[in-house]
Amino acid sequence: MKLASLKTEHPDGKLVIVSQDQNHFVDAGDIAPTMQFTLENWTSCSAALITKYKRLNEGLEADSFLEPKDDIVVVDLKHGIDFEGEFHEH
């Protein structure tokens, strides 16, 4: 099982579980909010994290990471999109 932290406004980020193929993840906040919490409470968290990891790998729960050339989906342009970026292929 691979655990990771996604950056948030919280100093410890948000705990996610990463799939075996490393293409998907699922939020683990319902079990443990952060990696630090997980480490400090492993005995009480581990069984639920393992169950969620299995469901993730069975395709029952998942979110996906964006690939470098994936489109960024915008729900509604009225929300005020204001970003720009440059990407160069080598």
Q: What is the pLDDT of residues 44-56, one digit of tens each?
A: 999 999 999 999 9
Question: Residues 5-54: pLDDT tens digits?
Answer: 998 888 899 999 999 998 889 999 999 999 999 999 999 999 999 999 99
Does residue 4 surpass a pLDDT of 70?
Answer: yes
Euclidean distance between CA atoms 36 and 42, whole angstroms:
10
Please calculate the CA angle 67-69-74 and round it to the nearest 5 degrees: 85
Neighbour order of strands in the sheet with 14-18: 2-6, 14-18, 24-27, 63-64
Assign 4 to helix, strand or coil: strand
Determine the distance from the C-alpha atom of residue 78 to the mean position of all C-alpha atoms in its chain, rounded to a whole number: 27
Please calculate the CA angle 33-39-43 and round it to the nearest 5 degrees: 100
